[in-house]
Structure 1
Amino acid sequence: MDQKQVTPMNYHHFLIIFFPIQGHINPSLQLAKNLVRNGAKVTLATTSRGLKQIKSLPTLKGLSYASFSAGQDDDESQFQKDFLRYMADLRRIGPQSLTNLVQKFSADQEPVTLLVYSMFLPWVAVVARDLQVPSAFFSNQSATVWAIYHRFFKSQDGIHGDIFSLLPIELLGLPLFSSSDIPSFLLPDNPVSGFMLPMMQEHIQVLEEDPRSFVLVNTFEELEQESIKAIANFNAISVGPLIPSAFCDGSDLTDKSFGGDLFSKSEDYIQWLDSKPKSSVIYVSFGSLAVLKKEQKEEILHALVESGRPFLWVLRSSNSEEEEEQVHKMIENGVKGDGIIVPWCSQVEVLSHQSIGCFVTHCGWNSTLESLVSEVPVVGCPQFSDQTTNAKMVEEVWGIGVRAKANGENIIERGEIKKCLDIVMGDEDRGKRMRENAGKWRGLAIEAVKEGGSTHNNLKRLLEITMMDSNPSTHSL
């Protein structure tokens, strides 16, 4: 590709490749939006199935969309029922399909200047290298989690052998991380470790082999200063928090470039929230992937009712008709307090509502950042993956919540949940400090994304280091 002859000096074209699940879609969209606002052209690309999954594609000058084939990516059941086969098809078919897409951009005189890829897609970096296009890994998890991955999988002095004998993990400036604090799939008895461990090792190896590559992390420097330093050799750049800017800067909560109002007052739950006193409502949601056991749902429901506080619980539909019927009966027979249960809500909208006083969450990274920016303290109920690490940071480092403890059957009992709610929403000193800390971190997040802030400057820096020059094959930090 002879990019020099067709591009001006200040040309930027970011091709962001993301995996088609909700936790990857939202931050990828926001990263694209922020880059466009800083003068870049951005193309968001995923599988055909993933592109169809986005219900309303934002419209913004400089932002476009593309898809590539994953073989079975038009078959929803294939993705849901046989994930490993889906991933194998994606790895087999995706590279050539993506290569064709990049070459088409070049032929159309819109060459890609940086190829950004997310978790589950390490092969994208190989495609970029073969095409002599600079690449960056986009981590939609925290810098702390990425530092732990690095500690495990780096080629020199990484952890090789019995993981349990090498615990706890020590990261400079942070508490020790035990087996219950590290991402769950790092433990050999985890059911997905056979897939995740080789994939993470491949991610690290790919980055180590290409000194021009770097890592974009959905965080901000003030929040994870020590962890960002720990991955400095990967040229880590913090570009978060990646949530709509209106929720950070307190401006008018409309965004016509993204298809209309961010707030939709037509929803019944918003009208319900409007009727509640400030900081009085418990918001409960466990994200788009976690599947709660029936027993856990019952414990949560009883804890909420017994707390005596109003609550809004997002309880997703189940694929099991029997379980759905059980849940409906549980709700009909159990909700005697002041609460509502909905199958979906706009989470950032809810968290930013003045009536919300606490967030009972799985501690996924997107949810953690959203609660922090919304100044809402949390009760952490981690389920899997990086959620355990996030819950530890929430409680022990950032001081914005508590981590609920599960029993021997991995169920968090109603008494434990109620105790945590009383701490976070109560008038004792510990709860007050959490609310004060939440306010502090919100303020720092807002400063980071403002002009002159750390994230704002990092985005400018990212544009500078990816700018086309007289030798487009040489990009470095």
Structure 2
Amino acid sequence: MCSPHVVALPYPAQGHVIPLLELSQCLVKHGFRVTFVNTEFNHKRVLNALAEKHAIGDQIHLVSIPDGLELDENRNDLGKLSEAMLRVMPGKLEKLIADINLVKDDKVTCLIADGSAAWAIELAEKMKIKRVAFWPPAAGLVALSLRIPKLIDDGIIDKDGTPVKKQMIQLAPGMPSFNSANFVWACIGGSSTREFIFNLMVENNEYLKKAEYMICNSTFDLEPVAFTLVPQLLPIGPLLASSCLGNSAGYFWPEDSTCLKWLGRQAPQSVIYVAFGSFTVFDQTQFQELALGLEITNRPFLWVVRPDITDDANKAYPKGFKERVTARGQMIGWAPQQKVLSHPSIACFLSHCGWNSTVESVSNGVPILCWPYFADQFLNESYICDVWKVGLKFNKNNNGIITREEIKNKVDKVLGEENYKERVLKLKEIALNSVREGGQSNKNFKNFLEWVQE
């Protein structure tokens, strides 16, 4: 009998590619073959970042299809990107699968599509292959998305997704509470982008009804209420490369692994790790205030500064900053994040609160300082600070700036009070137990494997 052949389709954003590639590594460990379909633009970035590392096995075949945009168009405009994808990618994906199926003993068994690209579920149904929706974000986001009709009926949002007024929302007792202005679709880009993303989520909800399996990168004990609200969603996480005996891969920028040697020279639990994912950008005022805040903590820090995080990042640092912090500060372009967070010298994580970063931090017992930028990051911030109580929020001043003093105060607080570390270590044990033999995520994953192989 041939090993199962899975086609995996991520939504083309960094936080979606990484966990699906980690799931793919887990599948390969169990004898599957995987064709991993990036957009052409991201495919080149992933290959460039992999370089000669060979972080993925021979059983994962990296391929690409066009996303519908020209090379120089802005792919951070998620509305424009999603619109172009819907025009072009369904036909290209169908042809790709049809071409694979021409090869004897290599037919596609199953399509695993990102929940944000759920149109592919309908395509899988049409092509008579098993169809799975994979959610990289929190289960709480799925619960919010599926609750859209009720939010409209209750007068909380208009039919275009616009919040009727700013108010605190909690889907159920035990769920995060957050401002309606921070609904995932309400804090992305301009009004046209927000409306397009909202309508896309409504359409996705319909496509998802055709999925035979819905799995996600979470664990029941992290979000018990969310899984009660969405019982058809099965947690198989946390998906960490170390759990799959592979290396984390799928990055859009080459990792700077020299930081691991630097971390090795620092005292245990002393370093502030600072990283904001792939989308967050700062104006120069906030960028400089962050730099000065890290400086006045008088603690060692590792800061991931993407080339596009602010205008001309190399020239944006405060005058003399690099020279003053040279003995205890490291600025790099991109980090091997899972290895960084598992390093004994890390004390806390100053994060944009993307779900991957959140899960990785919790799974390594690292408290979090929350600096959300957009989308689901405000929901995750509420989990971290209000539900799990393993981190702290920053407050902005009257000009909308998080000041250097606020940064220092929150760093001192999260590291000075033992409660945060104690709680996150308990959460770490809970999260990792779920993927160990006999844990709930482990059982769900084994059942999933058996179903694909039927």
User: What's the counterpart of residue 252 of structure 2?
Assistant: none
SS of 1:178's partner is strand
Structure 1: any 5+ residue segments left out of the alignment?
A: 1-7, 249-253, 259-263, 469-477
Report how far residue 320 of structure 1 moved.
7.0
Any idea what the Cα deviations from partners look like across 1:376-429, whole Å, max 9, x if unmatched? 101111111111111111011112111112234432122221111111111xxx
User: What's the counterpart of residue 178 of structure 2?
Assistant: 178
User: What's the counterpart of residue 473 of structure 1?
Assistant: none
Alignment of 1:358-377 (within 5 A): 358-377=348-367
User: What's the counterpart of residue 268 of structure 2?
Assistant: 278
Change (3 A) 1:384 1:460: same
User: What's the counterpart of residue 245 of structure 1?
Assistant: 242
Change (3 A) 1:135 1:406: farther
Separation in 2, partners of 1:171, 1:91:
30
Query: Residues 49 and 76 of structure 1 are in contact (CA less than 8 Å); yes or no, is this contact kept in structure 2?
Result: yes
Query: Residues 207 and 214 of structure 1 are in contact (CA less than 8 Å); yes or no, is this contact kept in structure 2?
Result: no
Separation in 2, partners of 1:19, 1:187:
19
Query: Aligned letter for 1:269?
Result: C
Alignment of 1:289-304 (within 5 A): 289-304=279-294
Separation in 2, partners of 1:184, 1:91:
20
Report how far residue 155 of structure 1 moved.
10
Report how far residue 86 of structure 1 moved.
4.2
Matched, 1:35 2:27: yes
Report how far residue 132 of structure 1 moved.
2.5
Alignment of 1:179-328 (within 5 A): 179=179, 182-186=182-186, 191=191, 192-208=193-209, 210=210, 212-232=211-231, 235-245=232-242, 255=246, 267-318=257-308, 324-327=314-317
Query: Residues 44 and 66 of structure 1 are in contact (CA less than 8 Å); yes or no, is this contact kept in structure 2?
Result: yes
User: What's the counterpart of residue 447 of structure 2?
Assistant: 461
Structure 2: any 5+ residue segments left out of the alignment?
A: 250-254
Separation in 1, partners of 2:291, 2:237:
34
Change (3 A) 1:157 1:31: farther
Query: Residues 8 and 113 of structure 2 are in contact (CA less than 8 Å); yes or no, is this contact kept in structure 1?
Result: yes
User: What's the counterpart of residue 353 of structure 1?
Assistant: 343
Change (3 A) 1:396 1:81: closer
Change (3 A) 1:60 1:399: same
Any idea what the Cα deviations from partners look like across 1:67-101, whole Å, max 9, x if unmatched? 223344xx542244876554433222211111112
Matched, 1:60 2:62: no
SS of 1:395's partner is helix
Identity %: 28
Change (3 A) 1:188 1:87: closer
Change (3 A) 1:380 1:188: closer
Matched, 1:112 2:113: no
Report how far residue 173 of structure 1 moved.
3.4
**What is the CA RMSD across the aligned residues, in angstroms?**
3.0
SS of 2:302's partner is strand
User: What's the counterpart of residue 146 of structure 1?
Assistant: 142
Change (3 A) 1:255 1:282: same
Change (3 A) 1:170 1:319: closer
Any idea what the Cα deviations from partners look like across 1:192-217, whole Å, max 9, x if unmatched? 31221011111112123x2x533221
User: What's the counterpart of residue 414 of structure 2?
Assistant: 424
Matched, 1:132 2:128: yes
Query: Aligned letter for 1:445?
Result: A
User: What's the counterpart of residue 77 of structure 1?
Assistant: 72
Report how far residue 445 of structure 1 moved.
2.0
Separation in 1, partners of 2:176, 2:434:
28
Query: Residues 351 and 372 of structure 2 are in contact (CA less than 8 Å); yes or no, is this contact kept in structure 1?
Result: yes
Query: Residues 313 and 342 of structure 1 are in contact (CA less than 8 Å); yes or no, is this contact kept in structure 2?
Result: yes
Separation in 1, partners of 2:57, 2:326:
46
User: What's the counterpart of residue 372 of structure 2?
Assistant: 382
Change (3 A) 1:188 1:153: farther
Report how far residue 153 of structure 1 moved.
4.5
Matched, 1:168 2:160: no
Separation in 1, partners of 2:168, 2:318:
43
Q: Which has the larger radius of gyration?
A: 1
Using structure 1 for the length normalisation, give the TM-score. 0.83
Separation in 2, partners of 1:151, 1:381:
26
Separation in 2, partners of 1:277, 1:176:
35
Query: Residues 305 and 337 of structure 1 are in contact (CA less than 8 Å); yes or no, is this contact kept in structure 2?
Result: no
- Of 86, 90, 94 in structure 1, the residue corresponding to residue 85 of structure 2 is 90
